[in-house]
Amino acid sequence: MTRFHQPVMLSEVLTFLAVRPDGVYVDCTLGGGGHAAAVLACLGPEGRLIGLDRDPDALAFARERLGSDARVRLVQANFACLSEVLRDLGLTEVDGILYDLGVSSYQLDQPERGFTYRSADAPLDMRFDPSSPLSAADLVNRLGEEELRRIIATYGEERWAKRIARFIVRARSREPFSTTGQLVEVIKEAIPASSRRRGPHPARRTFQALRIAVNRELESLELSLPQAAEHLRLGGRLVILSYHSLEDRLVKEFFRRTPVLRPLTKKPLRPSPQELERNPRASSCKLRAAEKILISEGGE
């Protein structure tokens, strides 16, 4: 079995989900199945666990981890289609829904998937679902300079987005991009040396931006959250782990403006120092949780 990393903020996730033995729970971002396995361990014979993921490798890993349990249904799907998945399973209400957003550790650890800027010869891919039509290479080779700038600035919050976009367009006129290493070198050229010497890897923000754009991550989340609120039963819990400010801001605003939900976290929770020592990749994680308090707007 592929080595699995410790699921992030597992104790806090279970606390806020408040898992009932006979409840129905949805893990919208199954990944390697770490959170799902912990939820399943809390369920009794009448409980049910639904797991969604776009990545067929993730589903295969999770099936291996969770075993052949009749209480579990795993579905390859974008969580933007949450209502459709639940309808197909004959469900209208569930007791808890979890999102662990962003890219997973196992995806980062597979260079051939093209998510990491630390592997020079990997294909420039970044698709959660390998059957999706557009890869990161397609974007950097086809989009105009202004659209590239917008993506890198908006989704990567990269101050050097304009220069990076210009350098990408100039470089691809000589040779199309096909590997992560090619893109990393162009980004390094675009960012002034004084800025490269400080802070995180110079390609981190651009890679994040392209990954978000390739997988339409924010659009999917915006579509999915209202569906999650709709399908929670009264008293049901919604728990969301986010890893950058764009995701967290979207979740915060959704909780604020959605009257059927009561936020359980005034401010987002962060991983403990002990967890960060075990898993440094959890450093940017923020957890927000909410409870369903109304059946519909204006109702009880």
- Report the distance separating Cα 194 and Cα 17, nearest Å: 45
Q: Does domain 111-215 have CATH number 1.10.150.170?
A: yes
Cα-atom radius of gyration of the chain, to the nearest Å?
20
CB under 8 Å to 198, separation ≥6 — which residues? none
- Report the distance separating Cα 261 and Cα 240, nearest Å: 13
Dihedral sign, Cα of residue 147, residue 286, residue 233, residue 235: negative
pLDDT of residue 4: 53
Residues 204, 117 contacting (CB under 8 angstroms)? yes
| Beta-carbon count within 10 A of 268 CB | 16
Does this chain's domain 10-106+217-292 share its CATH topology with 111-215? no
pLDDT of residue 130: 93
Tell me the pLDDT tens digit for each residue of 4-29: 567 999 999 999 999 999 999 999 99
Beta bridge partners of 72: 49
pLDDT of residue 298: 42
Residues in the chain where the model's pLDDT stays below 70: 1-5, 105-106, 109, 199, 296-300
* Tokens read off for 171: 């470089």
So where are the chain's domains?
10-106+217-292, 111-215
What does CATH list as the number for 10-106+217-292? 3.40.50.150
